[in-house]
Structure formats: C-alpha cells, structure tokens
Structure 1
C-alpha cells in the first residue's frame, strides 16, 4: 500500500480529476485540509472510510496516521486543496515518508488560480499584452526570499496571481505600484473560486483595497493583477488563416 496525495481542485467537486475521484472512492483513510477543501468531496468516500481534518493536526500527527494506515495495508489519501505543488506543504510530507520508507503517489489537481481565471473569464497569456504569469504570495509569518518580493516582481508588469495575501491588500497594492505597475492597472479578487459562494470584485490597483474592505473579503481569495484583465487583446497567430504551420499549410 501507499499514500496517495490528491489535489482536490479549487472547490467545485466536479473539478476533481477522475484519478483523484478513484483514489477517494477506494480510500480507507482520508486526511483532508478541512479549512480549505470542500466537504462535499468526502461524499465520494466509502461509508467505512476514516476521515481526519488536518486543520487540527501537526506534521508529526499526519505522518503517524499515514504510517499506521500503510502498515495495516490500508489505502491512505492525503487530500490537498487545489494542487499540492503550489503552497501545499508537500515536500515536508514526502520527505518524512521517505525516511519511513513509505511509498506514495502524487495525483495533481486543478489549482485555484485556474479556477479564478475561469471565473473572471480571462486568459493569463494574451499575445503582445502578457506572455508570462507570476504565481507568488506576500510575505507574512512565512518569509519570502528577498529576490522574490512582490515589489521586485512588479517590474515585469506581467500577469500575476497572488496567493495567501487577501488580508493584506493594502500592502500588496502599494508594493506593486512602488515596484512598477501603474496605479490604474486592472486588478481583481476572487473569493472561493468555483464554490457556490464565489465572489468577484474588479477594480484597479488604486481601488482594490477599498473594494475588498467593502466586500469584507479578508481570506480565501486570490488577487489577480495585470492587463490580462483589461479589454485590450490581440488574436493569436495559431488560428490566423495566413499563418502556416505543420498541420495547416
């Protein structure tokens, strides 16, 4: 047996992958991120499946349950919000399992930054407007490397998805403007992307903090910044009738 890490997706249970659904439906033990994972996903589990809310657990407790389950030849699923490769605390868990010689499998999920883009009806990469996406977070209780500060990234003025920072909107927007974005740069916040209670606010870097306060959004939201949110766009070459490539001469 092994531990299966499953990305739960951004919230909508139908955005769980088929492979993730199969793992949940077969699991004997599920350890889920209760503060973020939609509890509706647990309905995919067997009635006899044991569930543990990791919001009340530390790393040692999580690993102990994983170890006990695997030693008893039970299938353990570690259910993470979104995709565990982005701010998922994955590395520390798999390193602990490596030390115990416990096998694991990683089943990726749909990240919330993708759910937010769908909610906003945008494309992060717009030809000649923005061809890159920066995924980052504001420094808080966990430090950020000095070369990766919000302010330093702002010099690129490209599309940006900012996690774990919805309680610090004023600081975020000030750093972005100080770093190089014009104050009128389009900005948005998506609260609980793809959940039934999803909420979207749109504005600019100059107005976003006030809009967030008015909407009382202080957590569980993504900040999206850049001209990808604007009305200007250029069509891609891919479907241009005059653009020749190997499949269309």
Structure 2
C-alpha cells in the first residue's frame, strides 16, 4: 500500500508470514505424512522424451542412494538434490509423467497456506480491528458479510506464502533421506487416513436412479402406496399390505423388487416384501 509518498508495509502479508512460521512444525509434519507410500511406487524416468519404468521402486533406489529424478523432468530449483533424498523424490515423476512436487504443492502446500491465511484473517479481526476494517474498505468488502476466502483472493496473499512454505519444507526435509521422512510421517498419515475414512462414511450415499425400464412401474407403485393410504415410511408390519397393493396395481414380482429401493419404506420393510415373494 502506497498512500501518498509514504511506504507502508503490507501488514497482513507480514501477519500471514508470522502465522506460517508459528505453524512450521505442523507444516513439516504434514509434509512427512504426505510422503508415506512414495517409496512403494514404481520408479519412472523420462529418457529421450519417453516415460519408462526402470523396474525398481522409488524406495529401492532411495535405499541405495540412486538418483530418483532425471534431467528431462523436474524443477530447476530442485535439481541439485542429494540422490535418494526427499527433495530428489519431489523432483521425480509418477507413472503419468507428473512431477511429484506438483502433487505436493496441490495436496499439501496450497491447502495449508490457505488455512494459514484464514487463521491470519481471524487473528487480524480480533487483534487489529481498525486495520482489518480499513483493509476490507480498500478491497471493497462489506465488513459485516466479508468472507475470508474472498478477502484472501482479492488481496493475493497466498501465492507468496506458498513459496515461503515450500522453502520451509525444503530447509527442514530437503536433504533428508526419503525413507527417514516417510518413517517420521507414518503416525500422522494413519490419522489422516482414518479421518478420510470417517468423512467418507459420514457422506450420504447418492440416491440410486431407477432403471429406465422401471420408470413406469415406479410411477404405478408410488400411486398405489398413495391411494392405499399406507403410512410413510411403510413399516415392516405393513409389508403384506404393500405387496398386495403393488400386485393389484399390475406390477410383476420382478418389478416389485426393482422399485422397492425407491419407495418410502422403513428399515426392514423391503426385506419383508422380498421374503413374501420368495
């Protein structure tokens, strides 16, 4: 910010760097956790423009101090890596020819920096309310409705912090052997895997769409349930009555079993109907 001729440092950018450095240990831990499993991957190199499998794993080569990255791929800033090190692994390519450093940025650096900036914004609101309000005004954001993500995008603070985060990781882990980094990250990687499993279990399963051939039968079945005055969801003790009205509506036994997943049934009712049909 340059009001008049007086230079004012980017106080929020400095605050973001401060929060990032406070979270350095967490960043290093996430980097170690991310590395778990790299050593088990097949090793690939690009030779004369062609991606080829070398026949060994990344871990085998790392254990013997062999280079993991080649001259035709990778990033220039990672090119002086010690063979078998974490930095060397970042500069290697996967089976699709993608440099692991690109995946690391996308899966670790970017979300971590975004979270760091959100934490910095929260701290700014609490500890520097006047400066925060002035910043929102400069960015054209409504203080009462400002979304931190929108503020961060408008201010473009994340990009320089990503670079700094990468430097912090490389300074701590770059020359360390990949196998040691993986070993350090194993406990947290198990926690992250458990969290991912829990999130997946908590997500509702998408409703199955009925087969096109059952659309007519489903229409008749829903009408039959409605016209019969059956309670919804239909309880298990109403399975006999439900089956009767569906058959009276002209549905074949195969159509009945096909529409059951799409009817408003209580738990156990569909099983009762299938038992009655068998």
TM-score (norm 1): 0.22
* Structure (1 or 2) with the greater helix fraction: 2
What's the TM-score, normalizing by structure 2?
0.20
Q: Flag the structure with higher strand content.
A: 1
